[in-house]
């Protein structure tokens, strides 16, 4: 599993683009959650939550960001903004299993940026022995 760190400027850019995407949350602009991913090619793709009245059908910003990158043919994700809910952590983890990249979850905590590999956030992952 490949794991690395990204530079501070990339982390800040991820947060900035995720914040700028808040205007694209659905159904109300500015209400919901957003995320940004950094791909191996160095591109950033954002996602905004798309809420359903059922809630079950709601798409989280992280899922939309991963799908957004995929739509551009980029499946190798290096980093994603966090923190993330457990559903999204599962999606991120599964993406890392497929790419072989231990995706960094970038978290800003009291103005300090942390880069935490998704593998560290999934101590008892499913599937534990992937057959992807």
38 or 92: CB nearest Zn ion: 92
86 or 129: CB nearest Zn ion: 86
55 or 73: CB nearest Zn ion: 55
| Of 60, 101, 104, 106, the one binding Zn ion by CB under 5 A | 60
16 or 85: CB nearest Zn ion: 85
Region of 21-29, 41-49, 79-87, 104-112 interacting with Zn ion (CB under 5 A): 79-87
Whether residue 53 is preceded by a cis peptide bond, meaning omega within 30 degrees of 0, is no
Name the one residue in this structure whose structure tokens are 């290096």: 78
Number of residues that bind Zn ion (CB under 5 A): 4
88 or 101: CB nearest Zn ion: 88
88: contact with Zn ion by CB under 5 A: yes
67: contact with Zn ion by CB under 5 A: no
Region of 20-28, 54-62, 92-100, 117-125 interacting with Zn ion (CB under 5 A): 54-62
85: contact with Zn ion by CB under 5 A: yes
Read off φ and ψ for residue 114, nearest 5 degrees: -115, 140
Buried-state track 32-61, b at ≥16 Cβ within 10 A, e below 16: bbbbbbbbeeeebbbbbbbbeeeeeebebb
Query: Which residues contact Zn ion by CB under 5 A?
Result: 60, 85, 87-88
């Amino acid at each position: 599993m490949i794991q690395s760190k990204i530079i501070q400027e990339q982390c800040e850019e991820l947060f900035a683009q995720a914040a700028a995407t808040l205007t694209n949350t659905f159904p109300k602009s500015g209400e919901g959650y957003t995320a940004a991913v950094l791909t191996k090619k160095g591109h950033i793709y954002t996602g905004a939550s798309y809420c359903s009245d059922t809630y079950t059908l709601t798409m989280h910003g992280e899922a939309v960001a991963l799908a957004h990158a995929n739509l551009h043919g980029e499946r190798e994700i290096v980093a994603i903004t966090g923190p993330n809910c457990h559903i999204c952590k599962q999606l991120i983890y599964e993406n890392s299993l497929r790419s072989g990249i231990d995706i960094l979850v970038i978290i800003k905590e009291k103005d300090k940026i942390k880069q935490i590999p998704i593998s560290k956030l999934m101590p008892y992952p499913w599937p534990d022995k992937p057959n992807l």
